[in-house]
Amino acid sequence: MNRLISGLLFISLIGIICQSCKIDKPKEAALPQKQYVYLTFDDGPLDGSQDVDSIILAEKIKISVFLIGTEVAGDREMATYYKYYEDNPYIEEYNHSFTHGNNQYNVFYSNPHKATEDFLKNQKFLKIQFKIIRMPACNTWRINNKKQDDCATNAVATADSLAARGFKVFGWDVEWQHHAEDGTPVQSVDEMYRKIMQQLNSGKTFTKNNIVILLHDEMFQRRWEESDLKQLIDRLRKDKNIVFEQLKFYPQN
Q: Which residues bind Zn ion (CB under 5 A)?
A: 42-43, 136
Q: How far is the CB of 229 from Zn ion (least distance, A)?
A: 18
Q: Which helix (H) or strand (E) holds 66?
A: strand 63-67
Please state, in angstroms and rounded to a whole number, the distance separating the CA atoms of residues 169 and 141: 5
Q: Which ranges of the chain would DSSP assign to H, the alpha helix?
A: 2-24, 49-59, 69-72, 76-87, 105-110, 112-125, 156-164, 189-201, 228-237
Helix/strand/coil for 166: coil
Q: How far is the CB of 152 from Zn ion (least distance, A)?
A: 13
Identify the sign of the CA torsion 241, 205, 44, 158: positive
Q: Give 138 or 233: the residue with its C-beta nearer to Zn ion.
A: 138
Q: How far is the CB of 45 from Zn ion (least distance, A)?
A: 13
Beta carbons of 168 and 142 less than 8 angstroms apart: yes
Please state, in angstroms and rounded to a whole number, the distance separating the CA atoms of residues 250 and 245: 8
Close Cβ partners of 27 (under 8 Å, ≥ 6 residues apart): none
Q: Give 175 or 228: the residue with its C-beta nearer to Zn ion.
A: 175
Q: Give 43 or 53: the residue with its C-beta nearer to Zn ion.
A: 43
Q: How far is the CB of 104 from Zn ion (least distance, A)?
A: 13
Q: How far is the CB of 214 from Zn ion (least distance, A)?
A: 9
Q: Give 45 or 136: the residue with its C-beta nearer to Zn ion.
A: 136
Close Cβ partners of 220 (under 8 Å, ≥ 6 residues apart): 48, 51, 52, 55, 227, 228, 229
Q: What is the 3-state secondary structure (H, E, C) of 99-163?
A: CHHHHCHHHHHHCHHHHHHHHHHHHHHCCCCCCEECCCCCCCEEECCEEECCCCCCCHHHHHHHH
Q: Give 40 or 246: the residue with its C-beta nearer to Zn ion.
A: 40
Q: How far is the CB of 252 from Zn ion (least distance, A)?
A: 25
Q: Give 42 or 118: the residue with its C-beta nearer to Zn ion.
A: 42
Q: Give 35 or 45: the residue with its C-beta nearer to Zn ion.
A: 45
Q: How far is the CB of 224 from Zn ion (least distance, A)?
A: 24
